[in-house]
Amino acid sequence: TVVTPNRYAHQSVKFQDGLTIPKGALIGFVAVHNQIDPEIAPEPEVFDPMRSYRKRHSAPEERDWHLAGQFSKENLAFGYGGQACPGRNYAVAVLKIVVSRLVMDYEFKFKPGHSQRTKYHLLEFILPDPTATLMMRKRK
């Protein structure tokens, strides 16, 4: 979702500076900057699952904006306008179903003595420790 949206060049294009994009090349642009801009997402380095909710409730004209899967100039992960991903609402619905079932049906906790979360930074990504052990059991 960092280099998005992606498109294939249907014909070769040569720019004035000599740069050529050959027919068939996969092209895209780095769209993550909108998502990590503090003016758009205050404290973007902080996990805040209620950020969009607060934006929706900040003013009456914002009520129908800042929804998961909704294209906007602030979030280009699903494309924009007529080129927006047609399956974006389905993808969001499936994610909501899966996450809600996990939260409702299972309990999670770190292995005793391993509650300190380690984060790895890889380019623009922040990843959880892949060696961490997370315990999970079906709720009673």
Between 124 and 37, whose confidence is greater? 37
User: In sequence order, what are the beta bridge partners of 20?
Assistant: 14
Residue 88's pLDDT band, with cuts at 50, 70 and 90, is very high
Tally the C-alpha atoms within 13 A of residue 14's C-alpha that lie toward its C-beta.
Answer: 1
Average pLDDT on 105-127 reads: 77
Is the bond preceding residue 5 a cis peptide, omega within 30 degrees? Answer: yes
What's the mean per-residue pLDDT of the chain? 85
Name the percent of the chain lying above pLDDT 90. 39
Q: What is the pLDDT of residue 116?
A: 64
Query: Is pLDDT above 80 for 103?
Result: yes
Q: Which CA distances in Å does 61 have to 56, 72, 75, 107?
A: 8, 15, 18, 38
